[in-house]
């Protein structure tokens, strides 16, 4: 009786050893590529940082909590800000200076602190001509700075100065006046301040220190050419004219290249000296030959 016999399944044939090795290499490559793509997607700056680090320029480390590094190329990074340029000193005030005002004066009504540590106390008032465009308090502050020093007349240790209001007893008044009014006040005291027919300098007459508004605002050409700041000239002109009030007379330049004494007429000439606004230099009274 015929017997039905189920045919036996064919046994698979093993591939050659060389083909196994090729398959393993290909699989390993595919796995590594997939991992690399995943990392790149999670960290898109890795490539850029690698380019930067491989070049000659590297990004500086950021401080903790600071901003994240920029992905911009080094050429597009902002350059450091330059150091601030020092401000240029004012040599003269701009604009026209009024030649005359109303002839009347407004006063700084504040009482200032006593300047100086010992000696006789002399009180002064501060006044600004009405119509001059100047402020009495601002002028009073400038006078206070000039007479406080260090380097001012009170450094002698034998003098004290104090600004007082218009209703208080005073020994003298410091006026800021337009050139026409300054010329009139000085001429009334016997002093002619004209140069080329125009009231030019400042002056002191009995009980009055008169500062010419022209000089206060625009200094003088030879000091402007020497780049002397206007604030320094203002210190000088106050200390010079107050020096006259205190009994000091004109002095000459003691030698070319040396510092000018404050009682030299620096508004008119330097004669080889260097500008100086102070009667005391390095703590000592500085003088020149008498004129």
37-46, 110-119, 160-169, 173-182: least confidently modelled range: 37-46
Average of per-residue pLDDT values in the chain? 80
Which comes out higher in pLDDT, residue 265 or 67?
Answer: 265
Give me the mean pLDDT over the 94-114 stretch: 97
Contacts 24+ apart (CB under 8 A), 104-107: 104/129, 104/130, 105/129, 105/130, 105/175, 105/177, 106/130, 106/136, 107/136, 107/165, 107/166
pLDDT tens per residue across span 164-197: 999 999 999 999 999 999 999 999 999 999 999 9
pLDDT tens per residue across span 65-89: 343 333 333 333 344 444 444 578 9
Q: What is the pTM of this model?
A: 0.71
The pLDDT value recorded for residue 44 is 36
4-13, 57-66, 171-180: least confidently modelled range: 57-66
Token pair for residue 34? 């997939």
The pLDDT value recorded for residue 68 is 39
* Integer-rounded Cα radius of gyration of the chain: 43
Which residues make Cβ contacts (< 8 Å) with residue 248, sequence separation at least 6? 263, 279
CATH architecture entry for 105-285 = 3-Layer(aba) Sandwich (3.40)
> Is the pLDDT assigned to residue 43 strictly greater than 70?
no
> Is the pLDDT assigned to residue 220 strictly greater than 60?
yes
Nearest-angstrom CA–CA distance, 201 and 212 = 6
What are the domain boundaries of the chain?
105-285
């Amino acid at each position: 009786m015929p017997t039905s016999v189920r045919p036996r399944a064919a046994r698979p044939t093993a591939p050659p050893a060389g083909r196994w090795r090729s398959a393993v290499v290909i699989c390993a490559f595919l796995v590594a590529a997939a991992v690399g793509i995943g990392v790149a997607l999670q960290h898109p700056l890795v490539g850029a940082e690698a380019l930067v680090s491989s070049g000659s320029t590297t990004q500086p480390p950021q401080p903790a909590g600071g901003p994240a590094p920029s992905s911009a190329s080094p050429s597009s990074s902002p350059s450091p800000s330059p150091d601030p340029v020092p401000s240029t000193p004012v040599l003269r005030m701009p604009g026209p200076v009024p030649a005359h005002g109303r002839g009347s004066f407004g006063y700084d009504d504040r009482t200032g602190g006593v300047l100086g540590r010992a000696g006789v106390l002399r009180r002064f008032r501060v006044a600004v001509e009405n119509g001059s465009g100047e402020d009495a308090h601002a002028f009073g502050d400038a006078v206070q700075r000039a007479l406080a020093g260090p380097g001012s007349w009170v450094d002698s240790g034998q003098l004290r100065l104090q600004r007082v209001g218009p209703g208080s007893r005073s020994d003298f008044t410091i006026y800021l006046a337009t050139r026409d009014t300054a010329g009139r006040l000085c001429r009334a005291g016997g002093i002619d301040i004209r140069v080329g027919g125009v009231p030019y300098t400042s002056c002191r007459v009995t009980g009055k220190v008169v500062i010419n508004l022209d000089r206060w605002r625009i200094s003088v050409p030879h000091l402007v050419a020497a780049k002397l700041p206007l604030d320094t000239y203002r210190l000088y002109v106050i200390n010079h004219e107050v020096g006259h009030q205190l009994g000091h007379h004109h002095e000459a330049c003691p030698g070319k290249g040396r510092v000018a004494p404050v009682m030299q007429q620096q508004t008119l000439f330097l004669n080889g000296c260097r500008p100086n606004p102070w009667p005391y230099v390095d703590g000592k009274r500085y003088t020149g030959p008498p004129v």
